[in-house]
Amino acid sequence: MSTEVVSIRVRKDLKARMRALTGVRWQEEVEGFLERRVKEEEQRAAIAEVDSALVGVKTSEEPAWKAIRDARAGRA
């Protein structure tokens, strides 16, 4: 797996506090956070895409359970 460098600026006091916490693997922490955020945004985009595809689609007057029951009865 190849990697890229991402640089961010943080306040001096925050950087000093981070340095004081020697047991924390900051690269893993930041990478994990970014993974979660990217996944959240991808999910939001997918939901927005589905929502826009469903605009104008009418809902069924028949309850879903009835349609399922009728379909199952037709197979028997």
Sequence ranges of the domains in the chain = 8-56
Give the C-alpha separation, 71 to 52, whole Å. Answer: 29
Q: What is the 3-state secondary structure (H, E, C) of 5-16?
A: CCCCCCCHHHHH
Q: Tell me if 67 sits within 8 A of 60, measured CB to CB.
A: yes
| 3-class SS of residue 18 | helix
Q: pLDDT by residue (tens digit) across 16-58? A: 999 999 999 999 999 999 999 999 999 999 999 999 999 999 9
Confidence of residue 75 (pLDDT cuts 50, 70, 90): confident
